[in-house]
Structure 1
Amino acid sequence: MAKVKGRTTFEEDLCKGCGLCVTVCPVNIISQDNSRINKKGYHPAAIEDEDMDKCIACTNCATICPDVVITVERL
């Protein structure tokens, strides 16, 4: 059976940088982007482009996000 792959997107300007998604990612690819500040004044969560292929589409991040910032697509 092939491993499930996913593509995760963040509505960056809605993110309040709470970090909950970072703590629940089983493959540890989500991080706070300390190099950017969004429109709300927070460091948004993000996945580096080179790490996106490690996403297993578990949806843990989208489920725990209190602000519905994250969308996960199964590929």
Structure 2
Amino acid sequence: MAKIKGTVVIDKERCKGCNLCVVACPVQVLALAGEVNGKGYNYSQMVRPDDCIGCASCAIVCPDSCIAVYRQKFEE
């Protein structure tokens, strides 16, 4: 049976660190970074990339549309 692996790509310069995507993630893949972007915000980043299921909940709730989610099927 094929499994889905997701990848989240965040435009860190557009991210304002609102934390909505972190809260929306059902498998806690995202967290706010310790560093700041050019505007002085702590941006979101993937901290557990292997656990991403590609549900795109983070992209749906992002008010600035700076998140893209890609899904890839793979066989076990």
Q: Same fold (TM over 0.5)?
A: yes
* Aligned amino acid, residue 28 of structure 1: Q
Q: Which runs of 5+ in 1 are unaligned?
A: none
Could you state the TM-score of these two structures normalised by the residue count of structure 1?
A: 0.90
Q: Which runs of 5+ in 2 are unaligned?
A: none
Q: CA RMSD in A?
A: 0.9
Task: Tell me the number of residue pairs that the alignment of Structure 1 and Structure 2 aligns.
Answer: 72
Deviates more, 1:39-48 or 1:56-65: 39-48
Deviation at 1:29, TM superposition (A): 1.3
Paired residue secondary structure (1:12): coil
Q: How do 1:1-75 residues align onto structure 2 when only pairs under 5 Å count?
A: 1-33=1-33, 35-48=34-47, 51-75=48-72
Could you state the TM-score of these two structures normalised by the residue count of structure 2?
A: 0.88
* Aligned amino acid, residue 13 of structure 1: E
**Which 4+ stretches in 1 moved above 4 angstroms?**
none
Identical aligned residues as a percent: 43
